[in-house]
Amino acid sequence: MQSAILRNAFHFHEIAENVLSLVRDLVGAKTFFIAYTNQEVFTVLKLISEENSPLRPDSLPLESSY
Amino acid sequence: MIYLGGREPLVIPDASQHPVTKDLPITKSGNIGSYLGVPILLADGTMFGTLCALNSEPYDFTQDEQGIMTHLSKFLSHALDLEQLAANFQLKSMALEATPNAVAIVTIDGDITWVNPAFTELTGYEARELPTYRMLVPDDNPEDKATFHQIRTAVNNGSPWSGEVLTRRKDGTRYDSELTVTPVLDEAGNVRYFVSIQRDITTRKQTETRLHFLAHYDTLTQLPNRVLFQERLTEALSCDDQDALPALLFVNLDRFKNINDTLGHHIGDLLLIEAAKRIKDCAGPRAFVSRISGDEFTVLLPGPFDSLTVEQLAERLIQSIKQPMLVDDYELFISASIGISTATRQIDPDTLFQQADLALSHAKESGRNRCRFYTDDMDNSGRIEMENALRKAVDRGELILHYQPKVDLATGKMVGMEALVRWEHPTKGQIPPYVFIPLAEEIGMIGPIGEWVLREACRQNKQWQDQGLPALCVAVNLSVSQFQYGNIVEQVKAALADTGLDAEWLELEITESIIIQDTEKVISTLRDLQMMGIRIAIDDFGTGYSSLSYLKKLPIDSLKIDRSFVKDITGELEEEETIAKAVISLAQSLKLRVVAEGVETEAQLHFLMCQNCDMMQGYYFSRPLPVEEFAQLLASGRDLFAGVRVNA
């Protein structure tokens, strides 16, 4: 479902990066990401991490999700 | 593991203490100390994903931070929704651009604001030079004006409209289009725009027009055909105004078949074209002229008119057709016959047509090249039905024989019988012989019927003899056609052989009309029959024109005085009895036996007895009887005029 939505969302990736940058500036945390789950698969769409986080912008099995 | 699918924000300041996370491996491994996740929910309620912030150390997220995360997740949601909308819009826009239908978006004031490429292709208007809607759908004739008014009214009322309209291109040419107009309402429910979708149906309309022509017109003469004629006739007869009821002229070219047969169909077709033109020219613009088949045309003349006008028109048509036709270097002469029927209130199309057809037949029978008005005495409806029924009557066993006794005047005993055919129609009951015998002669059924009568009479007579009833001679009438076309000698031989009846118990009655056909041949045939032992009688004697000189040459055994002479005998005037007397005297001179037919009164019986007439038959003694009744009479051996003989 998310893949279908993203297929038509040509500008969303840029927007998502901007939003994460804004969150990084305004929220006191070290790691920020946008993710979704679909059919037992956890996908990290965008990620900003200022510490040694094991997260990667990739798809993982759900049991490895955050 | 943290489940990210929740629809509410999840705040975990210290993962090692939180019931959801404290036992997770990633918590224990030190990868997560605190967590803040906010769902990204789309406008339609779909959950897309989560916006998350986390630390490897515990952290107490402030209310502001939670608020920021919530707002930004909504921002992401809106961004996704907008992208979806844009994609959706783009898809639909592409569909509109790609559709072969001409689409235009038009303001309520009639200004076209957007068109697709198909519109440009169809109308010739580029996007930069768009016309007003009125230019596109013209209203410069009453029909178009009415259509335009309908469209406008529908749009103003916020209702869609669809229909076929004649539309105008930029170059002024017109084309048929199927138009759908759909109003577009704003949020307040007011019509601001409407969407116009046109489809070019010119080809379809042309095909329809062609098909309509082929279905309703004759391609040879270009005149309306039978289908259209029947439609117009029905329409004309449904008129309530008596004066407007039409006259129908049924025109047929005389001996047209000869032209086709001798000069070929090509010449025949050219002649038909010329004839059609002349009929149409003569009939004038008020009349509806059709070619309904081969060489048959109809002219439907609407009322009011008088019969003289119709007759004059018919005469003009006849004269016009009669003029020489120059066809492919041939100068052809042909005439026409016309049957005319004038409509009356409540007459149906079929009846009017049949009347005109009957009148045409009479015009043909009267010598062709003329017209005839239908009159009631021409009507022979039911005749065809009767003909068909008669053709099947023999096979269906509907014919039966009745037997009328012949009585010997000297003994009062029954000495013979005449077999008389009867038709028991399954629905109409018994049909009199004077109705069906002439019809059978006309349609060529008298031969088969005559043969059946001969066989059945022989079979029945033999059966009675086998049953031990007194043996009698059965008389059977022969028709002219049995003599002319059938081998009567062979027929009789076969009937006797097949039934086993001895020839001496069969008598054949012939009329004078048979004798005068070919007297020598008849004499020869009769001799053959007589040689077989069969008796011959002349029936209805005195009504024909047979030469008395031949009478003595004919191999006959008896004369039957026609009932019309017997009927004249009343016992009051001597001159009424003259012919009967003369016939009896003639027969006696020629040594022939005499049978009087149609004896109905005692006076007639007395007269005939006094004249020494040999035999009689008639209602005075007995009417023709069905088989069972005749058998009873035969078995009783009753003296049929015992009381009379005493007085004689």
The full DSSP string for A1-66 is -HHHHHHH-TTHHHHHHHHHHHHHHHSS-SEEEEEEEETTEEEEEEEEESS-----SSEEEGGG--
Q: Which CATH number fits domain B10-95: 3.30.450.40, 2.120.10.30, 2.60.40.1190, 3.40.228.10?
A: 3.30.450.40
Enter the pTM of the model. 0.44
The H or E element spanning position B245 is: none
With beta carbons under 8 A apart, name residues in chain A contacting B26: 66
Residue the block writes with tokens 């001799």: B527
Mean pLDDT value across residues B378-396:
78
Nearest CA in chain A to B67: A27
CATH topology of domain B390-647: TIM Barrel (3.20.20)
Candidates B12, B41, B54: best to mutate against A (most CBs of A within 10 A) is B54
**B11 CA to chain A: closest CA distance, Å?**
13
**Prediction ipTM score:** 0.91
Nearest residue of A to residue B74, measured between CA atoms:
A19
Please tell me the distance from the alpha carbon of residue B298 to that of residue B313, in angstroms, as a whole number. 13
Q: What pLDDT is recorded for position B304?
A: 85
Q: Which residues have a Cβ under 8 Å from the Cβ of A22 and sit 6 or more positions away? A: B72
- B217-378 homologous superfamily: Reverse transcriptase/Diguanylate cyclase domain (3.30.70.270)
Q: Which residue from B142, B122, B140, B144 is spatially nearest to B131, judged by alpha carbons?
A: B122
- Are B294 and B238 within 8 A, CB to CB? no
- For B99-205, the fitting CATH number among 2.30.30.180, 3.30.450.20, 3.40.50.720, 3.30.160.100 is 3.30.450.20
Residues of A in contact with B34 (CB under 8 A): 29
Integer CA distances (angstroms), B589 to B319, B551, B575, B580, in order:
63, 11, 21, 14
Asked whether the beta carbons of residue A51 and residue B1 sit closer than 8 angstroms, the reply is no
Burial letters for B153-186: b for 16+ Cβ neighbours within 10 Å, e otherwise? ebbeeeeebeeebebbeeeeeebbbbbebbbeee
Pairwise CA distance, residues B64 & B496, whole Å: 132
> Is omega for the bond preceding B304 within 30 degrees of 0, making it cis?
yes
Q: By the CB < 8 Å criterion, does B378 face chain A?
A: no
Local structure of residue B341 (DSSP, 8 states): E
Give the whole-angstrom CA distance, residue B523 versus residue B183. Answer: 100
Neighbours of B452 (CB within 10 A): 17
- The model's pLDDT over B425-476, given as tens digits with 9 standing for 90+, comes to 888 777 778 778 878 887 888 888 999 999 999 999 999 999 999 999 999 9
Is there a common fold for B99-205 and B390-647?
Answer: no
A51 close to B (CB below 8 A): yes
Q: How far apart are CA B521 and CA B507, in angstroms?
A: 19
Interface contacts A/B by beta carbons within 8 Å = 113
Q: Which long-range contacts (CB under 8 A, 24 or more apart) does B111-115 make?
A: B112/B136, B113/B193
At position B391, the amino acid (one-letter code) is: R
Q: Which of B438, B447, B449 is nearest to B399 (CA)?
A: B449
Q: What are phi and psi of B43, to 5 degrees?
A: -60, -30
B383-393 and B433-442 are packed helices; what angle lies between their axes, rounded to 10 degrees? 90
Give the residue from B133, B108, B109 showing the smallest Cα distance to B123: B133
Q: Are B609 and B409 in contact (CB under 8 A)?
A: yes
- Residue-wise pLDDT for B317-354, tens only, equals 999 999 999 988 888 889 999 999 998 877 889 999 99
Q: Read off the tokens for B243.
A: 């004066």
Q: What's the confidence (pLDDT) of residue B1? A: 39
Identify the helix (H) or strand (E) that includes residue B562. Answer: none
User: Cβ(B168)–Cβ(B136) under 8 Å?
Assistant: yes
* Type of residue found at B273: I
Please indicate if any CB of chain A lies within 8 Å of the CB of B69: yes
Q: A63: pLDDT confidence band, cut at 50, 70 and 90?
A: low
For tokens 């070919």, name the residue. B518
- Closest residue of chain A to B51, computed from CA coordinates: A34
User: Does any CB of chain A come closer than 8 Å to the CB of residue B68?
Assistant: yes
How does the average pLDDT of chain B come out, rounded?
87
**DSSP summary character for residue B156:** H
Nearest to B49 among A2, A10, A62 (CB): A2
CB contact under 8 A, B80 and A9: yes
Cα pseudo-dihedral B511, B514, B519, B523, rounded to 10: -70
User: Which residues in B lie closer than 8 A to residue A19 (C-beta atoms)?
Assistant: 51, 72, 75-76
Once rounded to an integer, what is the mean pLDDT over residues B115-135?
84
Q: Read off the amino acid at residue B353.
A: F
B76 vs A15: CB contact, 8 Å cut-off? yes
pLDDT tier at A65 (50, 70, 90 boundaries)? low
Which region holds residue B276: left if phi is over 0, alpha if psi is between -120 and 50, else beta? alpha
The residues spanned by each domain of chain B are 10-95, 99-205, 217-378, 390-647
Q: Which two tokens stand for residue B144?
A: 């178009």
User: pLDDT-derived band of residue B376, with 50, 70 and 90 as boundaries?
Assistant: confident
The chain A residue lying nearest B75, using CA atoms, is A19
* pLDDT tens for each residue of B28-38: 888 889 999 99
A35 to B68: CB separation less than 8 angstroms, yes or no: no
B135 has pLDDT over 80: no
Nearest residue to B68 via CA among B53, B49, B87 = B53
- Token pair recorded at residue B461: 């007579």
